[in-house]
Structure 1
Amino acid sequence: MAEELLDIAELIRQIRGGQPAAAEQLFHSYEPEIRAEIRYRLRSAAVRRVVDSQDICQSVMISFFLRVGAGQYEIAQSQDLLRLLLKIARHKTNDVYRAQLADKRDVRRVRPLHEVDEQGEKPRQDQRAANAAELTDLLEELERQLSTHEFEIASLRRQGFQWDEIGEQLGESPEALRKRFHRAIERIGRTLTPWF
């Protein structure tokens, strides 16, 4: 597997440091397995007509990169990262189903103009570069929307400080800081990307 060759801890450090090449490398290494999981779970032809596995995969990676950029995840092993990404993919796919099959939007009532063979689609190289640039923009926007206090916490997390060390520096409970910061990431993430 390609991810076996990656130094996950180093890639995450680079992503937190704002290096888009690291985000792109991680994205390309895990994209096939994430999309396979999403395609497996997108069993409804009606939902597949309106939602592409690429859309959900990008949402998975955007959520992951936003949280990594904010210092939320501590991952060093490729199998742990894959498990996390697949779990996010399952949740996002379930969210898509709920949204698309809701009474007001039930896609089962929509008649397709044409069918698309999702299995044969391949992301173009220029699309991959655009995805990496989009992720960088999202991380920058996340930082812009953080309060001064939240930004200070994010900066300390990116520098590798643990929650107890941050709590000591800021004179607050580590658990309270962690919870408040994660709520802020959730709040901002929902404004930046669908299915966050």
Structure 2
Amino acid sequence: MADPTPDQDLVERCRNGDEEAARILFDRFVERLLVLARRRISQRLASRVDPEDIVQSVFRTFFERLKNDQFVIDDQDDLMKLLVRITVHKTLRQVAFHKAAKRDPSLETAQTDHTQEQLAQVLDEEPSPETIVAFMDQLEFFFAQLKPLDRQILELKMQGHSSEEIAEKLGTYDRKVRRVLERIRTVALTDSGHLPS
């Protein structure tokens, strides 16, 4: 049987309640996870979603589930991959929560119980970390192709704003917003073969 890696040794010490090992593990990974969380948070949400809070939550979850024997760390890279998955998942949940909260309150109160139930169900579903990372990478790549104004319009549309609201916020015309969204749909259709949801 192979000797345990340094990470595996740290993990086992943490599992047994060794606080020094937990501190070492935290110090070793915290900066990389902060960078990862920051990359997933748009500038508009930066004032509402704190990467440090997310990473603290990542480590709380990790240590708690580790003590309950819910993780198996076999390979040298398993620990980093696991922490990345937890970070991406928690970051996306926070972003989804705050984007939903930015919608017009009057629209939210008009929703039926059934609609709210469906939304809660969607937010509770847990896509695989690989799916999340792939989606985020594709989305970032797609956004990078857009002009700044087009990107702003798409972001607002994804947050649930109507064309009229977007035009008002950006000081432009409703017709222009509709044209931009139509152009974005065309580009998305050309690139991926289907319309963006």
Q: TM-score, normalised by structure 2?
A: 0.48
**Higher normalized contact order (CA 8 Å, seq sep 6+, divided by chain length):** 1
